[in-house]
Amino acid sequence: MKRFLSLLLCISLMFAMTACGVKDNGEGTDDQQTESQSSEKKEGSGLVGITTSMYTNEGLAFMCDNIKEALEAEGYTAVIKDANLDQSQQTKDVEDFINQGAELIIIEACDSVGVKSALEMCKAANIPALSFNQILEGEVLELATGSVTSDNYQAGYEVGQEVAKQLNGTGKICILTYDVAFVCRERGDGFKKAMEENSGIEVLEVFDGVCTEDDALKKTEDWLQQYPDISAIFGNNTNCGIGIGAAMRAANKVDDILVANVDGQTADLKNMEDGALDITAVYPMRELAEETSAYALDILKTGKCSEDPHLKFSLCTQDQIEQYKEYWGME
C-alpha cells in the first residue's frame, strides 16, 4: 500500500512540474509569443514597386524620385524600374514586383491599352495597382485601385489657342502626336480642336508615333523640306520640343516658325530663352508627385484612395519664363 501511495505522489509531482511550464491564459510561452510577433509584418516596412515608361525623361524621373522619397520616409522600400517605352518590358517588371511580394505597384504606363495585362496580373495576385500620369480608360482603368492624372486635353487646347492668337488666326501647321499613350493623345486632340476653331489655319500634316528627340528632329527636318511655307509646329512633349528646336537651329528657322509643345520642363524653358520654343503648358509635376505619394500611402493603409484629381497645367509664353524657372529651381 505504501509503495502504491509513493508511486501516486511521484506522478502528481510530475504533472505539477509540467503545468508550471505552461501559461494558463492560452497565449503560449514567452518564446512562442516573441517568435509570433517577429513574424508579423510591421506597418511601413513593405516593398512598393514603381515602374515608369521613360526614366530618362526629366519630368518622369522627377516624379518617380519624389514618390520614392515620400514612401521611404514612411518606412517603405521603394524600387524604380524603367521600361524605356517598351510595354512588354514594363509587364515583366510588374511581374518581378509581384514575385518579390510588393505591397503596392505604382505604374506610369507605356501603353494605355497594352498595360492591361500588367494590371490583370496585379489583380490576380491581389496586389493593389496605382496608375499615375498616364490616362487609362474603361475596363483598363477599372483594374487599377486608383489613378492620378492631369488635364492633358485642356493643356493641348490652351496651347493651340495661344498658337492661333500669335498667328493672328492664319497659318499652316504640322502636328506630332503619340496616340499609343493616351496622355499624349489627349494633348494632340486638344490642340487639334483649337486649330479647328480657326478657319484661317490649315493643318498640313498630323504625324503619329513620335515621342523621342531623334524622331522629332528627323520629322521636323523632313517637314522643313516638304513645306517651305510652314508657320508652326506642335510637339506632344518635352522630347519633341527638344528635337524640333534642334532642327530649327540647324535650319536657321528659329525666328521664322512658331514652335509649341506641352510639358514645360527645364529643357523647354531653356529652348524658350533662345527662341527655339515659343509656347508650352507647364505640367504640374510637383503636385502630381505629391498627390500620387498621398494616394499610395492611403492605399497601403486603407486599401483605397480618393478620386482622380485631374490636375491643371499652366500656360507659359516668353513673358512667363522667369516664373517657371523658379518653379523648377533653375538659375
pLDDT at 44: 63
> Helices (H), strands (E): how many in the chain?
13, 11
- Tell me the per-residue pLDDT of 212-247, one tens digit each, with 9 for 90 and over: 999 999 999 999 999 999 999 999 999 999 999 999
C-alpha–C-alpha distance, residues 322 and 268, integer Å: 12
The residue type found at 106 is I
pLDDT at 28: 42
The residue type found at 109 is A
Sheet holding 47-52, edge to edge: 77-82, 47-52, 104-107, 129-132, 146-148
Strand partners, 206: 175
- Tell me the per-residue pLDDT of 12-34, one tens digit each, with 9 for 90 and over: 434 333 333 333 333 343 444 33
pLDDT at 45: 73
CA gyration radius for the chain?
A: 29
The backbone region for 141, taken as left when phi is positive above 0, alpha when psi lies in -120 to 50, beta otherwise, is alpha
Report yes or no: 213 and 246 within 8 Å, Cβ to Cβ. Answer: yes
Instruction: Report the length, in residues, of the chain.
Output: 331
Residues of the chain with pLDDT under 50: 1-42
Looking up cell 524622331, which residue turns up? Answer: 215
pLDDT at 36: 36
Which DSSP category does 152 fall into?
H
Cell numbers for 79: 524600387
C-alpha–C-alpha distance, residues 331 and 310, integer Å: 30
Strand partners, 261: 235
- The 10 Å Cβ neighbour count of residue 152 is 27
Looking up cell 511581374, which residue turns up? Answer: 95
Could you tell me whether strands 47-52 and 77-82 are parallel, antiparallel, or unpaired per DSSP bridges? parallel
Looking up cell 483598363, which residue turns up? Answer: 140
Report yes or no: 244 and 235 within 8 Å, Cβ to Cβ. Answer: yes
| Domains, the chain, ordered by start | 47-150+286-311 (3.40.50.2300), 152-282 (3.40.50.2300)
